[in-house]
């Protein structure tokens, strides 16, 4: 018998009571966070909440920020800024990669038969007369 496949990090499989237990919170706290726009769990066709591994990690991050003294508005702002930083870092990585590729393309186009002046052979023909 083959083992059951493990759900992916974005696959919503946890009901609210399990998600709350995994995050160390009360289920009502999760509902408040959802109302405030801090988390957005998936919904079944019946309307029940389902949380993913990513949602659980987000809940733990929210708990960490609130323990540090932030209110929920501050937590929401920090999470938005962290998401923006992650997006910009990904964009920068793509831009750097494209830049490296462009430089490599230019280097491949160099003529290999040209010799720099410092390395060229110069024939000495004696003194010039004026």
- Res. 1 pLDDT band, cuts 50 70 90: low
C-alpha dihedral sign at 36, 39, 43, 49: negative
Q: Which residues, at least 6 apart from 9, have a Cβ–Cβ distance to it below 8 Å?
A: 52, 53, 54
- DSSP state letter for 48: -
Q: Is the pLDDT of residue 53 over 80?
A: yes
Mean pLDDT (the chain, rounded): 89
Q: What pLDDT, in 10s, does the model give residues 85-110?
A: 999 999 999 999 999 999 988 888 87
Which domains does the chain possess?
A: 16-111 (1.10.1660.10)
Q: What is the pTM of this model?
A: 0.71
For residues 30 and 59, the answer to whether their CB atoms sit within 8 Å is: yes
């Amino acid at each position: 018998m083959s083992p059951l496949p493990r759900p992916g990090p974005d696959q919503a499989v946890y009901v609210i009571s399990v998600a709350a237990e995994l995050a160390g919170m009360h289920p009502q706290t999760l509902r408040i966070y959802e109302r405030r726009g801090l988390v957005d769990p998936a919904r079944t066709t019946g309307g029940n909440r389902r949380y993913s591994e990513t949602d659980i990690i987000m809940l733990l991050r929210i708990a960490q920020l609130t323990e540090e003294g932030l209110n929920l508005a501050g937590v929401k702002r920090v999470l938005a800024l962290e998401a923006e930083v992650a997006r910009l870092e990904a964009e920068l990585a793509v831009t750097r990669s494209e830049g490296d590729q462009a430089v490599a393309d230019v280097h491949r186009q160099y003529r290999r038969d040209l010799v720099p002046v410092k390395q060229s052979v110069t024939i000495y023909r004696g003194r010039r007369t004026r």
